[in-house]
Structure 1
Amino acid sequence: MEFVTKNKYTLFGVAAILLWSCLVALIRDVSELFSPIGGAAMMYSISALFLILVMGLPKLNDFPPRYLIIGAILFVSYEVCLALSLGMANTRHQAMEMAVINYLWPAITILLTVFSGRKKVSLWVYPSVLIAFVGVAWCITGDNDVSVAVLMNNFSDNPITYLMAFSAAFIWAVYCILTQKLSNGKNAITLFFTATAITLWVQYAFSDEPPLTFSMSSTVTLLIAGIVIGSGYALWNKAIIGGNLMLLGTMSYFTPVFSTIISSFYLSITLSKSFWQGVFLVTLGSLICYFVTREKTKKCKEPLLT
């Protein structure tokens, strides 16, 4: 019975990882159907409502105050930066670049832990982090040679989205490090999602985006996107209770690969050989970081989110 239960929770985790792998494609699709800010606001509102229905309405006094305040600020900042970097990218291909940049967060988490002096880790951490960053550069430069000039040229094409994507990776790394200490094992994800939705609606109110218009197909896509994101969080919350965290931790680091495959099909994008090589390098670098530190550094029990 214990074996069956553990397998069930592990399957919940696998399902969560696969659902998160759909996030990039769905956020980009919703932003094109509606608008970057308005579409994200509706999507996160649906996710928040779904989480409340599935996980119940949380009580504020159940959570440590510092966790609520600091965690909410970091979580909301991350989600807004991620969603808008994907939605405001000039093209679908550029949105894929934003997604790969976001997947630097595992390597950055380890790097920040090392710089803070809280952990002594293997020297393999440094080359593995470098591999991950080289992978991002490989994706951004495409078929051109990797150079500072090419990277700066691509960056200047849409600097705001690149800055938001890099900011998202760093913010999520800080979130993982701090919430481990502040949460006391609690998970305020429903409150954080609600705060994200409210923040996006405020941004939308002060933006110059056009009024939201709905069709049957766009509404269905919006509902699917919101439920998929919410389901990923709900399933992961179950998975960490009794699943095989070693297996799930390893599999989660393949999310860039899963996400790229799903997004390329869903968004009908043909990616170059160099882009796939870059995704592989980001995944490889993150995996090495994970394996050389897994006994010393606890894995963040929050989801990856594309």
Structure 2
Amino acid sequence: MNQYTWLGLSSILIWASLVAVVKLVTESLSPVQAVALIYSFSALFMLWKNGFPKLSLMPKKYLLGCGALFVGYEILFLISIALSTHREQVLIIAMINYLWPPLLIVFSILARQLSANIWVIAGFACAILGLMMVVNPDILEPKRILVAVLENPLAYSFAFIGAVLWPLYSILTKKYAEGHNAVPFLFLMTAVGLWAVHFVMRELFVELNLMTWLMVVVIGSLIGLAYSNWNQSMQYGHLKILILATYFMPIFSSLMSMLILDVQPLISFWIGCVLVTLGALICWQSTRPYNPSMK
């Protein structure tokens, strides 16, 4: 446990409230306008905190490859929230998005950053099952899964693609970044991309009142801080601890969403919490840092 690991854990706590607070802001403004404003302030905060990165010194594989994955994830995930038509749908989108923690384990093993035994499969399955029950218990019914997907296929597809892109970004950043941090620039590109979507969709620009401006500035700044910390933690932190901690983020996120969005938990929520925790512990015990000599 070093300072970068703690920075990564703080990012997870900030992310836990992301879905709920972003949904609240989108309800007050035009949806894409809301996320574009939030990420504009995130970019401004990060540029103020870190300065403009020296792009010419960065490896091209990191800047272009990892950068594309970062911007793609952010835009797809945020647009999926913006496209949600009601609060219960946001919980389904959150469930799809939170597939990335177990996918991070899988990709880390494939990238030879972690090694694992057969029990990681059981842990992965247990965590996925619990995750689904925590965020939306009824989605375990096959017919309801099909109904839910057909209700908003575009939003759910965007969320799923994003869930694949983020662990790829995390793994490849550790491999190619070489200590560089392009996140402030990538946030700026994300904000530009979101505004482009806003104008292409010809969305109505809604004027903000003082309270909404305050929410946008605070949320944007916290998001910028979280992503800045995560980038450093993935390069210098304890990868196994951070991966384990991501399994608990859906639980905190669900609790925050239930409080902020006024959604009441069922008994299946607590069953899901136990399953997510158990799955995380199984994965924790089943993985270890990759050692090339151990084949």
- What TM-score, normalized to structure 1? 0.83
Identity of aligned residues (%): 34
CA change 1:208–1:291 in 2 (3 A) is farther
Alpha-carbon deviation of 1:283? Answer: 4.9
Q: 1:148 aligns with which of 139, 142, 154?
A: 142
Alpha-carbon deviation of 1:262? Answer: 1.7
- What TM-score, normalized to structure 2? 0.86
Q: Distance in 1 between matches of 2:231 and 2:135?
A: 34
SS of equivalent residue, structure 2 residue 33:
helix
Residue 199 (str. 1) matches residue 193 (str. 2): yes
Range 165-174 or range 265-274, more displaced = 265-274
Q: 1:72 aligns with which of 55, 58, 67?
A: 67
Q: Do 1:140 and 1:151's aligned partners in 2 also have CA atoms closer than 8 Å?
A: no
Equivalent residues in 2 for 1:178-217, closer than 5 Å: 178-217=172-211
Alpha-carbon deviation of 1:164? Answer: 1.4
RMSD of equivalent CA atoms: 2.9
Aligned residue identity for 1:134: L
Q: Distance in 1 between matches of 2:283 and 2:244?
A: 11
Q: Distance in 2 between matches of 1:113 and 1:131?
A: 19
Q: Summarize deviations over 1:8-36 as a string: whole Å, max 9, x none.
A: 66654443332222211221112111122
Aligned residue identity for 2:121: Y
Residue 157 of structure 2: aligned partner: 163
Residue 233 (str. 1) matches residue 233 (str. 2): no
Range 129-138 or range 217-226, more displaced = 129-138
CA change 1:247–1:39 in 2 (3 A) is same
Q: Do 2:73 and 2:165's aligned partners in 1 also have CA atoms closer than 8 Å?
A: yes
Q: Do 1:132 and 1:281's aligned partners in 2 also have CA atoms closer than 8 Å?
A: yes
Aligned residue identity for 2:162: A
Unaligned runs of 5+ in 1: 1-5, 298-306
Q: Do 1:113 and 1:177's aligned partners in 2 also have CA atoms closer than 8 Å?
A: yes
Residue 58 (str. 1) matches residue 53 (str. 2): yes
Q: Summarize deviations over 1:47-87 as a string: whole Å, max 9, x none.
A: 00000101111111121011111111111111112112222
CA change 1:173–1:11 in 2 (3 A) is closer
Q: 1:135 aligns with which of 130, 133, 136?
A: 130
CA change 1:107–1:38 in 2 (3 A) is same
Equivalent residues in 2 for 1:247-266, closer than 5 Å: 249-266=243-260
Q: Distance in 2 between matches of 1:257 and 1:49?
A: 30
CA change 1:48–1:291 in 2 (3 A) is farther
Q: Distance in 2 between matches of 1:285 and 1:193?
A: 33
Residue 104 (str. 1) matches residue 129 (str. 2): no
Aligned residue identity for 1:99: A
Q: Distance in 2 between matches of 1:241 and 1:163?
A: 29
Equivalent residues in 2 for 1:107-122, closer than 5 Å: 107-114=102-109, 121-122=116-117
Aligned residues: 291
Q: Do 2:113 and 2:289's aligned partners in 1 also have CA atoms closer than 8 Å?
A: no
Q: 1:223 aligns with which of 217, 221, 228?
A: 217
Q: Do 2:75 and 2:194's aligned partners in 1 also have CA atoms closer than 8 Å?
A: yes
Range 50-59 or range 182-191, more displaced = 182-191
Aligned residue identity for 2:205: P
Q: 1:22 aligns with which of 4, 17, 21?
A: 17
